[in-house]
Structure 1
Amino acid sequence: MATIKDVARDAGVSVATVSRVINNSPKASKQSVAAVTVAMKKLGYRPNANARALVNQSTNTVGVLVSDVADPFFGAMVKAVDNVAHEHGKHILVCNGYHDEEQERKAIELLINSRCESLVIHAKSISDEELIAYAEEVPALVIINRSIPGLETRCIALDNYRGAYMATEHLIKLGHKNIACLASSHEIEDSTQRVEGYQAALDAHNINLPASFIEYGEPNNDGGETSMTNLLAKSLKMTAIVSYNDYMAAGAISVLQENSRQLPDEISIIGFDDGLIARYLQPRLTTVRYPIALMAEKAARLSIALARGEKDPSEVLMFSPTLVKRDSVQKQAD
């Protein structure tokens, strides 16, 4: 395998000159660039990425932390970041944190140690204080799907409270009063804010329901099935359901159909996220759209701008959810 010394010998220049060419130094003459480029191609020499990073203090890479890239929600987020990175001639390095404190910490440390010049971080388990410390260390670190006091200008978030309030109020305006809630059992702000939004909408319309109308579960199909089974076991006179996300709604729908409950004639249901699955459920799922691709694009642009010492021109940091009406909700009969 060719070395930098071999390239220097073949090009008739010094090792220092080869290094300057590799690292795009303005001190390298056009003749040197041409000679070194020809020699590298001839010898099949590839510059060591780690060595270049040490010189440039950067790998021209955007680091991305998600919970689980296998989840289509986070797949959409990664794709949006990747699109922006490619626009700027950069690549991405993706790590999974699995909503686990230690895994998230290890992932962020790996991205920093890999000399990523920009970081887009989706972390739910490590503390605000620790994320603030990381942000102080990495000026181009941007948090997505979380708002941290003192770090608001580098946080891209969604108004989860408003989304749940909107979904619940939509059902109320259609005449529903006995509205159950499928909530996430994960101890993250999204779950708390959505339950608070649900409860606030009920309170605003003077609807008082017992705590038994809220059932917690894993935020996936299985969690939706288990939570829905538990709600049915309580024999609640519910006519509608607000779900933490579309996957829990999908699990709930399967249980309702297995128990011969007609949707939306007997029970209406609203999801959250507007993932691909929402369009193909039967009935097609009314849901709250989570603009994760737009948010991820914004986060990536902000991070890259910060890495360049620039100010991002857009002031939109808190995104608003929107209601997507499909077929899983119906007006409650008088």
Structure 2
Amino acid sequence: MSTIKDVARLAKVSVATVSRVMNNSPKASAASRAVVLQAMATLGYTPNANARALVNQTCDTMGVVVGDVADPFFGALVRGVSAIAVEQNLNLLMGNGFHKARQEREAIELLIGKRCEALVVHSKALSDEELCDYALRVPGMVLINRDIPALKGRCIALNNRLGASTATRHLLELGHRQIAFISSDHVIEDATLRLQGYQDALLEAGLSSNPELIESGTPNEEGGEQAMLNLLAKGLKMTAVVAYNDAMAAGVLSVLADNGVKVPDDISVIGFDDIIYARYLQPKLSTMRYPIELMAAQAAKLALQLAAGEHESWQNRLYTPALISRHSVAAARS
């Protein structure tokens, strides 16, 4: 593989002259430009992007860290960031963290090593302190779905507690009183806040939360299936289920259908996130919309502004989920 020194040797100029030509410096004469470009073509030499960035102190790459891009939720997050990268003619590098500290750390370090000056990071396993340390290293790092007071103006999150309480309150307004809750078994803030939101709504209605009506599982279809099977095995009366996310709600719908339970006639089901397939389930899933693509685009814009040294008086932004009413929820039978 040819190097910049090979180009200089063939063109019979200095390495500095080759560098000036590659960087379109006005100090490079027309004659120098001609012989250097001819040498590059002869050798098939392509300038290394990272080396060029070191010279220019700039980078044409931004990065994003997500939980798992195979998850539709994180796919939407990446789309939001990608739209801004394309708009700004930037390349996008991505890393998966899988909600595990070591892998989140490795993904962030990899993107920093690739000189990504603008980073959008979805991290649930790393501590506030470690993320603050990374923020000191990368002024253009923005956290999404995380609210750290010490990182003022660099966090974009959702009001998960309000979202779950809104979903539960919707069921209560339809006359439901025996409402089950299926939570994520991941030890993350989202799971805690959504459970608290469910309990908030029950308390407001003068009802106590029954621990027997709360089950948890991995936050995917299989986890929803197993949690719903556990609820049915208890033989408890329930007229509605609030699921941690739409993937778990899909598992709930599958188990209920297999057991001859009609939705929403016998049991109403409401999810959270409004991922793409929620509207194609049978019945179409009522859910809480998580505007993750919008939030991701905002995070990407903010990351680029911070990387460019534009420090406005930003506050940490807390978005509000919206109720999307479809066909999986109905009034409780009298």
TM range (shorter): over 0.9
Q: Is residue 186 from structure 1 mapped to residue 186 from structure 2 by the alignment? A: yes
1:177 aligns with 2:144: no
**Which position in structure 2 is the counterpart of 1:168?**
168
Deviation per CA, 1:140-164: give whole Å up to 9, x if none.
0100111012113100101111110
The answer as to whether partners of 1:66 and 1:97 remain within 8 angstroms in 2 is: yes
What code does the residue aligned with 1:14 have? S
Aligned to 2:45: 45
- The CA distance in 2 between the partners of 1:151 and 1:33, in whole Å, is 47
Distance 1:35 1:129, change over 3 A: same
In 1, Cα distance between equivalents of 2:181 and 2:62: 38
Q: CA deviation at 1:173?
A: 0.7
Cα-to-partner distance string for 1:246-275 (whole Å, 9 max, x where unaligned)? 010000111111111111001000001101
Deviates more, 1:5-14 or 1:149-158: 5-14
Deviation per residue, 1:177-236 (Å, 9 max, x gap): 111000000000000010011110111111123111111111001100000001111111
**Superposed CA RMSD:** 2.0
Equivalence for 2:141: 141
Q: Secondary structure at the match of 1:232?
A: helix
Tell me the SS of whatever aligns to 2:181.
strand
1:104-143 Cα deviation digits (max 9, x unpaired): 1111111112211111111100100000011011100100
Task: Answer with 37-46 or 145-154: which moved more.
Answer: 37-46
Match of 1:108 in 2: 108
1:275 aligned partner:
275
| Contact 1:241/1:270 (8 A) holds in 2 | yes
Looking at structure 2, the residues matched to 313 and 13 of structure 1 have their Cα atoms a distance apart, in angstroms, of: 49
Q: Report the equivalent of 1:5.
A: 5
How far 1:2 moved relative to its partner?
3.5
- Given that 1:224 and 1:251 are in contact with CA atoms closer than 8 Å, whether structure 2 keeps it comes out as yes
Tell me by how many angstroms 1:44 deviates. 1.8
Q: Which moved more, 1:102-111 or 1:308-317?
A: 308-317
Identity %: 58
Q: Which amino acid aligns with 2:130?
A: E
Q: How many residues align?
A: 334
Structure 2 counterpart SS, 1:40: helix
Give the aligned partner of residue 55 of structure 2: 55
Aligned 8 A contact 2:152 2:316 in 1: no
Q: Distance in 2 between matches of 1:28 and 1:164?
A: 62
Corresponding residue of 2:241: 241
> TM-score, normalising length from structure 1?
0.94
1:47, CA displacement in angstroms? 0.9
CA contact (8 A) 1:301 1:312 kept: no
- TM-score, normalised with respect to structure 2: 0.94
3-state SS of paired residue (1:54): helix
The answer to whether the 8 Å contact 2:243/2:271 transfers is yes
Q: Do 1:287 and 1:324's aligned partners in 2 also have CA atoms closer than 8 Å?
A: yes
Change (3 A) 1:15 1:207: same
C-alpha contact (below 8 Å) 1:302/1:312 kept by paired residues:
no
- Are the counterparts in 2 of residues 179 and 238 from structure 1 also a CA contact under 8 Å? yes
Where does the alignment leave 5 or more consecutive residues of structure 1 unmatched? Answer: none
In the alignment, structure 1 residue 83 sits paired with structure 2 residue 117: no
Q: Which runs of 5+ in 2 are unaligned?
A: none
